[in-house]
Amino acid sequence: MKAYSHASPDRTGSQINEDIFAYAHALKKGRDYVGSCGTINFPNHYKLSKMLGLPLPFTKLPPGYANYAEIKSEDYSRSVYPDPNMLIDHVFIKLLRDKFLSLVQAPPSPNPKVGVHIRRGDIKMDNLARYVPNAYYVGMIQKIKEISPNAEIAIYSEAHSSENFNVFRELGCKLLLDADLEFTWKEMIFADVLVMSKGSFAYVPALYNQNFVIYHPAWYSKLDHWHSNDDPQLWKHLKSVLNRWLP
């Protein structure tokens, strides 16, 4: 049986995040997920879904879709999947990655590439549940540079921010503010190290990233292949990964 969902009215990252959850749930139920329906942010929603190899969204339900099962957010809520790894399991992650990698190839790089997503734009400093201050990222970057001085570090964010980005320029990071969304996600997916923020825009590429992902506690739980930022062995693990670039 085929199934669809209604697109999230939120920003593009959240839309695709919800599409992925609906897709995973549909497969668990033996259904063929055909995409989500909605008009908000549709051009970016469609473009990024196509780039990832996901079922494509659509703006209205054709006649045949009326007979398809509708997947709602409560169908894949925490009450149904208390552990997110039950929904986003290794089999599903491999499916997503295989589809993406059949469409996009990783760019070569002589040095380790580090992607740091800093959520700004719609999030201000007084939003304690979602805002992560610059100081957190500075600490992460300093430690990474200590382990791998030749690491190429890129900051992905929005120019509209409660804190400026001067400190990252001083650290030698490449600032990519308000960059093309498709380019940004590709770079984050292929980063050798990905430092997550709190938000769906970091969640989606972190799901696809097969390398070293550093998770910041958020309203969504850690997936099995991510490393917690409070793990006492974090830097030891990261050093073992980055050692392959040492002369």
What is the CATH code of the structural domain delimited by 113-245? 3.40.50.2000
Given this model, what pLDDT does residue 124 score? 79
- The confidence score (pLDDT) of residue 56 equals 97
Per DSSP, the three-state class of 133 is: coil
DSSP at 221: P
Helix (H) or strand (E) holding 117: strand 113-117
Contact in structure between 28 and 48 (CB atoms under 8 Å): no
The pLDDT score that the predictor gives to residue 121 is: 78
Q: Using CB atoms within 10 A of its CB, is residue 129 exposed (0-12), middle (13-18) or buried (19+)?
A: exposed
Going from N- to C-terminal start, the domains of the chain cover 2-101, 113-245
**Tokens, residue 20:** 């992925």
Q: Which of 117, 133, 121 is nearest to 209 (CA)?
A: 117
Per-block mean pLDDT, blocks of 10 residues, the chain (247 long):
94 96 97 96 97 96 85 95 92 97 89 94 76 93 94 95 92 96 97 94 96 91 92 95 80
